[in-house]
């Protein structure tokens, strides 16, 4: 990110940029920064004859190359912006060949949620341009960001309240920003955001509900687990999706349990399971409440519950309810 900021500040650009990773908010932010800087700000005014966007799969690479070869109209550059095309997983070989010797006036910005680092296109962009990964930010960074955004609106938040807020709304920065806007409006003239404000206006992400549900099961609090399940049903969450999330949670806990037993620290566990480091720590704490054999059994019972629904032996709502009462 720092390199991109320096390129924009100096006006010395690479001909191709790849922004990839699971943090969509940052990807979009830097995509827009690059697009505006490269086309001289025309896109920010609502029009640009030299800026072109391509979104989704099945792009016509031949037409893209023809466009890249076309000289820009009264400008230095022609800017081509790509969004989640999948070209860095498959189908990008022809474009990779072109990028070995592209038109000197064509500039490329790719924003992709998933890439294959072994692909020819990835290696070409990494070699000739900049490939920057936007991963989920750590807890410390997110808490500072939350405090900074609130400060701009004249609000303050304690570290413990910021942590509670992140537990509730998750780590997606786009969602965090939306929830903070709700908090600012709700607090009105009050300068300090309290935990009660978070509870009143912020929407609990579904994965947090599932995390709390499994925690309640681990603590043998069946009534609380069922209450959380009924809350999800009231929010119109399909029972089979809830079952899928419970199964995924139990499977993740099993992986974390196994890795913890092998002596790995939370950061390494996070890398191996795809969890942010501080989230991995919370999963490790929850996994400690269970025996490995019980987690294996829980995953098996989730499969059995799904089969019971698909074969018509139980309806979906009852199947999940019975699972919650018997899973561990």
In sequence order, which residues have a C-beta less than 8 Å from that of residue 6 and are 6 or more positions away? Answer: none
CA dist 172 and 138 (Å) reads: 11
* Burial per residue of 91-107, b for 16 or more beta-carbon CB atoms within 10 angstroms, e otherwise: bbeebbebbeebbebbb
Cβ atoms 235, 287 nearer than 8 A? no
> Distance between CA atoms of 54 and 121, rounded to whole angstroms?
16
What residues contact residue 104 under an 8 Å CB cut-off, 6+ apart? 15
- DSSP characters over 224-290: HHHHHHHHHHHTT--HHHHHHHHHHHHHHHHHHHHHHHTT--HHHHHHHHT--HHHHHHHHHHHTTS
Distance CA 172, CA 183 (A): 17
- Supply the pLDDT for residue 39: 85
- Per-residue pLDDT tens listing for the chain (328 residues): 788 999 999 989 999 999 999 889 999 999 999 999 998 755 545 557 889 999 999 899 999 999 999 999 888 899 999 999 999 999 999 999 999 999 999 999 999 999 999 999 999 999 999 999 998 888 889 999 999 999 999 999 999 999 899 988 888 899 999 999 999 999 988 999 999 999 999 988 887 788 888 888 878 788 999 998 998 898 888 999 999 989 988 999 999 999 999 999 888 898 888 887 778 888 898 899 889 998 999 999 999 999 999 999 999 999 999 988 886 5
The answer to whether the CB of 88 falls within 8 A of the CB of 57 is: no
pLDDT at 95: 96
Domain residue spans of the chain: 2-133, 139-201, 206-326
Q: Which CATH class is domain 206-326?
A: mainly alpha
What is the pLDDT at residue 139? 84
pLDDT on residue 171: 85
Contacts of 100 (CB under 8 A, 6+ apart): 124, 128
Q: CA 24, CA 31: separation in Å to the nearest integer?
A: 10
**193 near 212, Cβ under 8 Å?**
no
Residue 259 neighbours by CB under 8 Å, 6+ apart: 268, 269, 272, 273
Q: Write the pLDDT tens digit of every residue in 11-29.
A: 899 999 999 998 899 999 9
Rounded to 5°, the CA angle 123-125-126 comes to: 60
DSSP 129: S
C-alpha to C-alpha distance for 114 and 122, rounded to whole angstroms: 11
Q: Which CATH architecture has domain 139-201?
A: Orthogonal Bundle (1.10)
Q: Are 110 and 19 in contact (CB under 8 A)?
A: yes
Q: Is the dihedral of CA 137, 143, 144, 145 positive or negative?
A: positive
- Please name the helix (run of DSSP H) or strand (run of DSSP E) that holds residue 294, with its range, or none: helix 292-310
The DSSP string of 60-87 is -HHHHHHHHHSPPSSSS-EEEEEES--T
Which class is domain 2-133? Answer: alpha beta
CA 118 centroid distance within chain:
22
Q: Within 10 A of 218 (CB to CB), how many other CB atoms are there? A: 20
């Amino acid at each position: 990110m720092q390199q991109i900021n320096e390129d924009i500040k100096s006006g010395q650009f690479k001909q191709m940029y790849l922004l990839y990773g699971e943090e969509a908010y940052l990807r979009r932010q830097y995509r827009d920064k690059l697009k505006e800087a490269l086309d001289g700000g025309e896109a920010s005014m609502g029009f640009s004859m030299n800026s072109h966007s391509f979104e989704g799969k099945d792009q016509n690479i031949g037409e893209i190359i023809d466009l890249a070869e076309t000289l820009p109209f009264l400008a230095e550059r022609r800017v081509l912006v790509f969004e989640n095309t999948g070209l860095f997983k498959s189908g990008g070989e022809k474009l990779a060949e072109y990028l070995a010797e592209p038109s000197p006036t064509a500039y490329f910005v790719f924003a992709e949620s998933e890439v294959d680092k072994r692909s020819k296109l990835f290696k070409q962009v990494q070699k000739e341009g900049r490939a920057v990964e936007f991963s989920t930010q750590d807890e410390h960074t997110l808490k500072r960001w939350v405090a900074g955004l609130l400060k701009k609106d004249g609000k303050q938040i304690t570290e413990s309240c910021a942590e509670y807020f992140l537990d509730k709304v998750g780590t997606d920065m786009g969602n965090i920003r939306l929830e903070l806007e709700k908090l600012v409006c709700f607090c009105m003239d009050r300068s300090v955001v309290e935990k009660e404000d978070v509870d009143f206006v912020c929407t609990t992400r579904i994965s947090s509900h599932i995390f709390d549900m499994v925690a309640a099961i681990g603590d043998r609090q069946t009534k609380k687990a069922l209450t959380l399940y009924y809350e999800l049903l009231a929010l119109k969450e399909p029972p089979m999706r809830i079952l899928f999330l419970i199964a995924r949670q139990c499977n993740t806990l099993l992986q974390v349990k196994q890795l913890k037993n092998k002596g790995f620290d939370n950061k390494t566990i996070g890398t191996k399971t795809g969890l942010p480091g501080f989230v991995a720590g919370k999963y490790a704490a929850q996994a400690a409440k269970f025996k490995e054999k019980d987690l294996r059994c829980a995953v098996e019972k989730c499969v059995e519950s799904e089969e019971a629904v698909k074969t018509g032996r139980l309806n979906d709502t009852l199947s999940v309810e019975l699972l919650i009462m018997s899973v561990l």
